[in-house]
Amino acid sequence: MDGKVTITDAEGEPAELPNEPITDPELELLLQYKQFLQRRGYREAVYCTRCWGNNLADGTEFHVQSRGVSIEALIRCRCRVAYGRGGSVH
């Protein structure tokens, strides 16, 4: 999933954003990070350094989950998307 992806923006209109693929080692690290936070009763908060307006309500969408033996992750803000599927659940 390289290149650009089409999403629906805040107004419900299609928008094309650049996709930055997430590598297998990065997927594994993101899953470990999420599991680390969950074990301690925390939740992640991610902000884009390119488009964040210093408003805590203006966060980035962040999803990481294991799917069988693989990992899927999506990080999306107003200016880009990072997506990956693969890795290995240990």
Of 18 and 11, the structure prediction assigns the larger pLDDT to: 18
Q: Is the pLDDT of residue 89 over 80?
A: no
Spatial contact of 84 and 72, defined as CB atoms under 8 Å apart: yes
Tokens describing residue 24: 């297998």
* Share of residues in the chain with pLDDT > 90 (%): 42
Give the burial string for 62-72 (b: 16+ CB within 10 Å, else e). bebebeeeebb
Mean pLDDT across 32-53: 91
Reply yes or no on whether the pLDDT at 87 is more than 90: no
pLDDT of residue 2: 61
- Quote the strand ranges of 1-90, DSSP E: 3-8, 14-21, 61-67, 70-76, 81-86
Span 51-84, pLDDT tens digits: 887 777 778 889 999 978 899 999 988 888 999 9
